[in-house]
Amino acid sequence: MEQALIDWLRARLPAHPLLTLGIGDDAAVLDMGGAAECVVTVDALMDGVDFNLQEIDRCRAGRKALAVNLSDLAAMAAEPLAGVVALVLPKSGGLELAKSLYEGMLPLAEKYGLVIAGGDTNSWHGPLVVSVTLLGRVTPRGALRRGGAKIGDRILTTGAFGGSILGRHLDFEPRVAEAILLNERHELHAGIDVSDGLSLDLGRMAAESGCGAVLDLDKIPIAEDARRLAEQSCDGGTALDHALSDGEDFELLLAVPPAEAARLLVEQPLAMPITEIGEMVAERGLWRRTDSGEKCPLAARGWQHELD
* Of residues 39 and 160, the one with the C-beta less far from its own copies: 39
Using CA atoms, how far apart are residues 88 and 304, in angstroms rounded to an integer? 23
Contacting range for its own copies; rule: CB under 8 A; set: 44-52, 169-177, 256-264, 284-292: 44-52
Phi/psi-derived region of residue 248, left when phi > 0, alpha when psi is between -120 and 50, beta in every other case: left
Using CA atoms, how far apart are residues 195 and 203, in angstroms rounded to an integer? 13
* Per-position x/- string for 81-100, each x denoting binding to its own copies as judged by CB under 8 A, each - no binding: -x-xxxxxx-xxxxx--x--
Using CA atoms, how far apart are residues 175 and 181, in angstroms rounded to an integer? 10
Using CA atoms, how far apart are residues 132 and 84, in angstroms rounded to an integer? 6
Examine residue 49 and tell whether it contacts its own copies (CB under 8 A). Answer: yes
Distances (CA, A) of 73 to 36, 50, 185, 202, 228: 17, 19, 18, 17, 30
Residues 65-84 that bind its own copies (CB under 8 A): 72-73, 75-76, 78, 82, 84
* Of residues 55 and 305, the one with the C-beta less far from its own copies: 305
Q: At its nearest, how many Å lie between its own copies and the CB of residue 8?
A: 11
Distances (CA, A) of 160 to 165, 218, 232, 249: 14, 13, 19, 8
Examine residue 149 and tell whether it contacts its own copies (CB under 8 A). Answer: no
Distances (CA, A) of 270 to 17, 36, 235, 252: 29, 29, 35, 12
Residue among 133, 183, 209, 245 that touches its own copies (CB under 8 A): 133
| Among 174, 191, 299, 196, residue whose Cα is nearest residue 247 | 196
How many residues in the shown chain lie near its own copies by CB under 8 A? Answer: 76
* Of residues 190 and 215, the one with the C-beta less far from its own copies: 190
Examine residue 122 and tell whether it contacts its own copies (CB under 8 A). Answer: yes
Contacting range for its own copies; rule: CB under 8 A; set: 142-150, 164-172, 233-241, 256-264: 142-150
Q: At its nearest, how many Å lie between its own copies and the CB of residue 280?
A: 17
* Of residues 200 and 222, the one with the C-beta less far from its own copies: 200
Residues 189-208 that bind its own copies (CB under 8 A): 192-193, 208
* Of residues 139 and 238, the one with the C-beta less far from its own copies: 139
Q: At its nearest, how many Å lie between its own copies and the CB of residue 299?
A: 15
Examine residue 118 and tell whether it contacts its own copies (CB under 8 A). Answer: yes
Examine residue 32 and tell whether it contacts its own copies (CB under 8 A). Answer: yes
* Of residues 44 and 272, the one with the C-beta less far from its own copies: 44
If you ran DSSP here, which 8-state letter would residue 25 be given? B
Neighbouring-strand partners of residue 23 = 25
Distances (CA, A) of 114 to 16, 70, 135, 240, 259: 8, 10, 9, 36, 35
